[in-house]
Amino acid sequence: MATLHWVFLGRVPYPLGLSLQQAQASRVLAGADPILFLLEHPKTITLGRSADPGHLRLGEQELARRGFGVYRVARGGDVTYHGPGQLVGYPVAALPGGAGSVPRWVRAHAGALIAFLKDHGIDGTWSDLHPGVWVGREKIGALGFQISRGVSTHGFALNICPDLAHFDTIVPCGLSRMGVTSMAALGSRVPTLEEAAERVAFLVARQLGWTPGEALDSGEVLEEFADDVSLSACL
């Protein structure tokens, strides 16, 4: 049975988060154990492989003027916003069962988010039509993975207490008639991101049938990866 190691990194610039995933993916291919990186990003917009640039409601120069980073990434999906108050998870692991288990991998992570929301009195549901975790017609959790050589990168984002006005800069996931919500907007008790990270890591492991590992020290993780990623270029 695999052990899911995890670490909460706090607020991390998007390029650093991406570099950590790429470095860990190389280690997993060499036989390393999985790591779930949990963190939040500064104001960031990502465009997945199938993204329509028309789903940016502002031009990239205007977004940059307002302090948003814009990145084109290899994950599936359309346009997504990340920012403070949103818990982002990047599970970097060899996919159990190979490529044929991708749907189970996605649903396991969605199931962890749904279980976490239930802990806080929120009934979230998965949608096959519009993949993600929803509360009514409003999305509260986004999922988008990249599977390469049997290793998963990218992951999920859960809206705990982000500024929902920031989502107005995009058409989230290309769904113009659907809304976005958060635990705070729904009146739930709002945990700290560190509290949420610990519980979500446990629930992801349980959904996968893995052993939940102890939290790794964030400073030690960054030091360990320092030779694999250009930390100074990402800060």
Q: How many domains does the chain divide into? A: 1
Q: Mapping DSSP to helix (H, G, I), strand (E, B) and coil, where does residue 121 land?
A: coil
* pLDDT value, residue 42: 97
| Cα atoms found within 13 Å of the Cα of residue 108, Cβ hemisphere only | 20
Domain coverage including residue 185: 3-234
CB 90 within 8 A of CB 36: yes
Structure tokens at 67: 């302090």
Beta-strand relationship, 44-47 and 211-215: unpaired
Other C-beta atoms lying within 10 Å of the C-beta of residue 97? 11
Which is more confident, 234 or 84? 84
* pLDDT value, residue 172: 67
**Res 130 pLDDT > 60:** yes
DSSP letters spanning 170-229: B-GGG-TT-EE--TTTTT-----HHHHHHHHHHHHHHHHTPEEEEEPPHHHHHHHTTTTS
Read off the pLDDT of residues 180-205 as tens digits, 9 standing for 90 and up: 999 999 999 999 999 999 999 999 99
* pLDDT value, residue 232: 44
Q: Cα separation of 173 and 29, whole Å?
A: 30
Q: Cα separation of 117 and 114, whole Å?
A: 5
Q: Considering the entire predicted model, what is its pTM?
A: 0.92
* pLDDT value, residue 227: 79
- Check if 234 is active-site: no
CB 146 within 8 A of CB 74: yes
Which is more confident, 50 or 127? 127
Read off the pLDDT of residues 49-101 as tens digits, 9 standing for 90 and up: 777 778 888 888 899 899 999 988 877 677 889 999 999 999 999 998 765 68
Q: Which position among 112, 173, 197, 201 bears the catalytic label?
A: 173
The domain spanning residue 136 has which CATH number? 3.30.930.10
